[in-house]
Structure 1
Amino acid sequence: MKIRLTATILAASLLFFGCNKRNDNPDPNRGNMADLIVSEDFSWTAAIQGTLTVTLENPLNVSTEDEFIQVVNADGKVLDRTIVHNNIAEFQLNLPADGSFYVYYPVTENTQKITGTGAMNLLLGPAVTYIYPQTKSTAVVSCTSCGTPIQNAGGELPYLASGYALRNDADVPGWSTTATDHKIEMWVSGFQGVPSQEGRQFFELNANQVAALYQELCLEPGSTIRWSVWHRGRQGVDVAEVLIGASVATAVRQATMTDGKTAWGHYTGTYNVPVGQTSTFFVFKSISAAGGSQSIGNFLDNFDISCDADGDGTIDRYDDYPGDPNTSYTSYFPESGRQILAFEDLWPSLGDFDFNDLVLSNKVTITKNAAGTPLTASFSVSIDAIGASIDNGFALRFVKPDKTVFPANIIAGVSGAATLDPANTNGLILSNDVYATINDRYQNNGEGPVGVPDTLKFTVTFNAQAGSFIPEIYLFRTGDRGHEVHRSGFPATATMNASLMNTQNDAGNFKTATGLPWAIEIITDQRFKCAIEKTDITSAYGKFKTWAESSGTVNSTWYLEPVAGKVVVVPF
């Protein structure tokens, strides 16, 4: 019997193998798959998938609030990133179980290997000073003419044994004051119950009189910087200003800081250094302080100056697009490897559990702005195996990370090998009939012919309503659009024929009464070899059974160990 396989229409990637069925009637002897005893909430995903909550243990009180933390691979490539709040960061992981991945905190350069989802504690060491490279890029103008544009940013020098001290500005590296007595007041964290925002020490702007604290920065004329500082009141609500300019006297107000005595407030902004401005001063000026005393008020800590060439608010060393003010980051789905989806298409009836009716692999590159809002998603979906005699299509729908639907449309447009699904909000049609795009060059030899798969490439542009998403790919009957097959846990679309639910072997949510699925997911960098026709997947992969019955906690890389003679052999 002939098997119709995809021609290379758009691009070629992984090897293609087809496993055409002579008929799709369920085999009465289904082997071990039908006998599995699995948890009712098992996801049927072979991956490190779910929420990872990282708690930063910070005995040295290094800067953590609003700082970046990253997921990286063994080569240090950034796969995902998020912001720390209250020493806690949260990632939604989609990683191969067969790889090595780490949480990395750039401020201290601490790393810890990811072993699963759930909770992780990351112990932080001392902060590492970032040294700006002095080699000038032709694409992005460096903002600094020295390795570190600001000195003694957190007021850690000179060292104080305890309490507080008034020091002459000549003894405080980097800083000067407009006070006529040249005194700068410094506190140790915990004195009078006031914690530093970062490090061990911090400044009080009002020493013996109302004054300004300032520092001259080594900034390149014509460049753009992002500045940051933390402010706190002492006896009540204190007010101070941030000014930047060519001199202390001519510095222009950038922000007004107004904070009470119970918490530190964070202030940031961008500043364009004028062409020809060879001296730039960073000035903090006291405006008012609660209590009325000229020697009390306006705590300051954790100053920072960073290059931000495009002025988008994302500093250059974390910006994947430092010359583009609209785009800041690249992320991936999955974070590493490809998402493999293997379907049985006889839903709501059981199939033969070889999971080769349609096998797809998917990789998505996502661009985001400085706020983390998705801008574009570029897909590469490879049709790796078609083993069904039923004509099927497949589609994609964007859902939230909790698998619920978005309340509004998030798609602005699509280009390439996909079209908008007119019947489903946030949906795309990838193929109305997989067989319609393939040719008759190969014959089925019982194990499946080998060739090059079709890879569908397309890019989605999002509108302002977009947020974090999962791109769910599902199968549907070509002649019956309402007959859909989803992975368990994902809701049906608006076009689904609801009368099919809870019929035949379906117990709702695209699972049987014993928890068996019609689709499985694998995330891996490796090639997945489909089972030979009519071969139960538990026979093709000897460790599948223990993986499923342990809810994925045992033999999580079962897909790397096929049984010889039970899977399609790929000779090249």
Structure 2
Amino acid sequence: MMKKLAPILILALAFQACSEDKSNQQNPIVAQSFDELTVSKNFNWSSSDQIQMEVELKESSLFPMDLQGTKLEIRNELGDRLALATIDHYNRAHFSVLLPDNSNGFYFHLNATGQSWPLELKKNVVLQISDPLDQIASSSNKVLGKQAFTGTPPGTNMLGNAGFEQTVAYKNVGYSFDPTSGTANDQKWYVTDNEFSQPQQNGSKVFKVDNNRWTHLWQIHTVQPGDSIYLSSDYHGYVRAYLFFYSNANSSYAQSSTSKVLSSSDKVIGTVVPNNSTVVVALFNLYDNAWIDNAFLSNPAAITDTDNDGVADGDDDFPNDPTRAYLSYYPTVGRQTIAYEDMWPLKGDYDFNDMVVNVKSSLVKNGDDEWVSAEYEIALDAFGGGIESGLALRLTNSAKNTMSSIISSVSGDASLDPDVTNGIILFSDPDQVRSQYYNNTEAGRMADPDTIRFTINFLANNNGASFLNDFYIFHKNQRGREIHLSGFSGTAAADANLYNTGDDVNGTYKTTTGLPWAMDIVLDGENFRHPMEKVDMITAYPRFSLWAGSAGAQNSDWFQTPNLSDIIDLGGL
């Protein structure tokens, strides 16, 4: 009987534990000191929006697209690119994002179609690509080339019967306007239906759609990747012009598209043929007695890739450098402050000022989507610990585990760590980098923080592998005594004999009650004001307790309301 009840008892206990954990988050206890906090065992102690995202792009069932190799971007409200990822064979892109808590105004942008979506901060995101022929959905599409014309664009007209003086013969090809609907370069127009006429307008024949009807008219042509391409026409009424790009004449999956409604001030689409595209479908969509005449399509050689790296100058952050193309940042916005306690594996005093560093990095990829370099700028805000500690960095994979070596060399104020794969030593002793002695805790000398800078150069053929920054401190006289943000494990140089000693649990850098030895916060436009020496974090920031107890669900702006007499404002130095 006991054997039969045991699984039920275990299940009941597990359910009770989960229920208690959920209840604690919904109705957290407001602690008076850090050591009294009751927190979720999975709480990450990060006051930021930090996530590894997989974004899947779902194309319209009526208009399949081949997006492999194209870019998905994250942009801010000003349209500046903050991060980008290459779309794979499965129409998926992967991002490592670190933003200030409760950030807004950011969005995804797909260059291949010009479509945008609000940024969703979750592990799995699905973005629905609008059918480009859906008039309402496509009304917000933007032109890739960002060029406006009122006259005739450059180049020689590739279209046959561009003035519609010859009869346009209707062929029943339906709405399958991909290259397989006709023959490339045959100079013939293809039409979705027969609801059109070719009357005289201003002494010349035009192509005119019937009253209150829609129709689509197109030609198919071969083009050169990387070259400019323009489509225009004289028109009357509602006319939308499209360019659909395909890898070859036998493909029914578009790689990208762009469109615009023609207007008197801007009646030309001007863009660049995407890499690996060799066929274009130039299409006009007309509605309700609208007409077009003197259609024009040209594909002149473009002087848009100055450094010949395969990335058009408009998309290239380094248009004159063939070894560099794309710039992104980590954190994606703002700067990351990491604050440490240095007594691990024993609990500290929880003032989180034993070392405080402020980090920003700029990451560079080349035109083949491989990492080239990463530049780091680190402000050394405080040295409040009684133990002299060094600072190091390890690059891990997105699961925070060791990854294959991707670092070629390091220059500047850092050096390679011979004992740690993808490891870098910034300093082993604070006096190696401080221009003068300071601690910035009010218990000793105050000074403007020193800043160190270094550059990582990456090995070739790294495939743009995702990585995370694991900044950690270690004791000057005991290299194996490392202190990491929770979620990261010790390095190969860590002393594993210290795991499960003192207050540590299994080398997780958390106590049995889930308390950390390090925490981070991302802020944009301001510095984190760390507590003074021996001032508990909750004393300095009274709203912190509810934030931690609710696993970040409440008081996410806890850092905005400190007790001013208990914190260090480095901006006031």
TM-score (norm 1): 0.66
Inter-partner Cα distance in structure 2 for 1:74 and 1:364? 21
Q: Which runs of 5+ in 2 are unaligned?
A: 1-30, 131-136, 194-214, 229-243, 253-272, 282-298
Aligned with 2:247: secondary structure? strand
Once the two structures are TM-superposed, the CA of residue 435 in structure 1 deviates from its matched residue by: 3.7
Could you say which structure has the higher helix fraction?
Answer: 2
1:246 — aligned with what?
none
Counterpart check, 1:130 vs 2:147: no
Once the two structures are superposed, what CA deviation does each residue of 1:323-358 show, in whole Å capped at 9, x if it has no partner? 322221011111111111100000000001110000
Q: How much identity, in percent, do the aligned residues show?
A: 30
1:411 — aligned with what?
407
Inter-partner Cα distance in structure 2 for 1:337 and 1:151? 49
2:423 — aligned with what?
427
Change (3 A) 1:32 1:116: farther
Amino acid paired to 1:358? M
Counterpart check, 1:83 vs 2:86: yes
Once the two structures are TM-superposed, the CA of residue 395 in structure 1 deviates from its matched residue by: 1.0
Is this contact kept in 2: 1:130–1:148, CA < 8 A? no
Once the two structures are TM-superposed, the CA of residue 132 in structure 1 deviates from its matched residue by: 5.4
Once the two structures are TM-superposed, the CA of residue 267 in structure 1 deviates from its matched residue by: 9.5
Once the two structures are superposed, what CA deviation does each residue of 1:41-92 show, in whole Å capped at 9, x if it has no partner? 2211111111334454655849672332211123222110123455544322
Query: What are the equivalent positions in structure 2 for 1:386-535 lying under 5 Å apart?
Result: 386-407=383-404, 409-438=405-434, 446=442, 449-464=445-460, 466=462, 467-508=465-506, 509-525=508-524, 526-535=526-535
Q: CA RMSD in A?
A: 4.3
Is this contact kept in 1: 2:384–2:439, CA < 8 A? no
2:9 — aligned with what?
none
Is this contact kept in 1: 2:439–2:446, CA < 8 A? no
Is this contact kept in 2: 1:343–1:356, CA < 8 A? yes
Which structure ranks higher in relative contact order (CA pairs < 8 Å, sequence separation ≥ 6)?
Answer: 1
Aligned with 1:451: secondary structure? coil
Once the two structures are TM-superposed, the CA of residue 440 in structure 1 deviates from its matched residue by: 6.2
Inter-partner Cα distance in structure 2 for 1:58 and 1:420? 45
Inter-partner Cα distance in structure 1 for 2:511 and 2:348? 12
Amino acid paired to 1:357? D
Aligned with 2:43: secondary structure? coil
Of 348, 354, 371, the residue aligned with 2:351 is 354
1:65 — aligned with what?
67
Of 311, 315, 318, the residue aligned with 1:314 is 311
1:103 — aligned with what?
108
Once the two structures are TM-superposed, the CA of residue 531 in structure 1 deviates from its matched residue by: 0.7
Once the two structures are superposed, what CA deviation does each residue of 1:475-517 show, in whole Å capped at 9, x if it has no partner? 1111111111111111211111110011010012111111111
Query: What are the equivalent positions in structure 2 for 1:112-127 lying under 5 Å apart?
Result: 112-114=117-119, 116-120=121-125, 122=127, 124=130, 125-126=137-138, 127=141
Counterpart check, 1:334 vs 2:331: yes
Is this contact kept in 1: 2:339–2:354, CA < 8 A? yes
Change (3 A) 1:417 1:164: same
Change (3 A) 1:350 1:62: same
Amino acid paired to 2:38? I
Inter-partner Cα distance in structure 1 for 2:226 and 2:458? 40
1:146 — aligned with what?
153
1:250 — aligned with what?
none
Inter-partner Cα distance in structure 2 for 1:371 and 1:320? 14
Change (3 A) 1:360 1:201: farther
Is this contact kept in 2: 1:343–1:519, CA < 8 A? yes
Once the two structures are TM-superposed, the CA of residue 99 in structure 1 deviates from its matched residue by: 3.8
Inter-partner Cα distance in structure 2 for 1:218 and 1:373? 20
Query: What are the equivalent positions in structure 2 for 1:183-194 lying under 5 Å apart?
Result: 183=188
Aligned with 2:545: secondary structure? helix
Aligned with 1:47: secondary structure? strand
2:51 — aligned with what?
50
Change (3 A) 1:267 1:439: closer
Once the two structures are TM-superposed, the CA of residue 434 in structure 1 deviates from its matched residue by: 1.0
Inter-partner Cα distance in structure 2 for 1:543 and 1:516? 17
Once the two structures are TM-superposed, the CA of residue 314 in structure 1 deviates from its matched residue by: 2.4
Once the two structures are TM-superposed, the CA of residue 563 in structure 1 deviates from its matched residue by: 2.0
Aligned with 2:369: secondary structure? coil
Inter-partner Cα distance in structure 2 for 1:324 and 1:165? 43
Change (3 A) 1:340 1:267: closer
Once the two structures are TM-superposed, the CA of residue 406 in structure 1 deviates from its matched residue by: 1.5
Of 92, 97, 105, the residue aligned with 1:93 is 97
Inter-partner Cα distance in structure 1 for 2:396 and 2:143? 41
Inter-partner Cα distance in structure 1 for 2:339 and 2:321? 39
Aligned with 2:497: secondary structure? helix
Inter-partner Cα distance in structure 2 for 1:204 and 1:50? 45
Deviates most, 481-490 or 96-105: 96-105
Give aligned pairs, total: 440
Q: Which runs of 5+ in 1 are unaligned?
A: 1-29, 136-144, 189-199, 206-212, 221-226, 238-265, 272-281, 285-302
Is this contact kept in 2: 1:531–1:568, CA < 8 A? yes
Once the two structures are TM-superposed, the CA of residue 426 in structure 1 deviates from its matched residue by: 1.5
Query: What are the equivalent positions in structure 2 for 1:26-41 lying under 5 Å apart?
Result: 31-41=32-42
Amino acid paired to 2:67? E
Change (3 A) 1:350 1:387: same
Change (3 A) 1:539 1:112: farther
Once the two structures are TM-superposed, the CA of residue 431 in structure 1 deviates from its matched residue by: 0.8
Amino acid paired to 1:36? L
Amino acid paired to 1:230? S
Change (3 A) 1:456 1:478: same
Aligned with 2:566: secondary structure? coil
Amino acid paired to 2:50? Q
Inter-partner Cα distance in structure 1 for 2:438 and 2:226? 68
Is this contact kept in 2: 1:419–1:428, CA < 8 A? yes
Inter-partner Cα distance in structure 1 for 2:509 and 2:59? 45
Change (3 A) 1:542 1:110: farther
Inter-partner Cα distance in structure 2 for 1:31 and 1:403? 33
2:260 — aligned with what?
none
Inter-partner Cα distance in structure 2 for 1:368 and 1:455? 25
Is this contact kept in 1: 2:431–2:437, CA < 8 A? no
Deviates most, 43-52 or 117-126: 117-126
Is this contact kept in 2: 1:132–1:148, CA < 8 A? no
TM-score (norm 2): 0.66
Deviates most, 439-448 or 558-567: 439-448
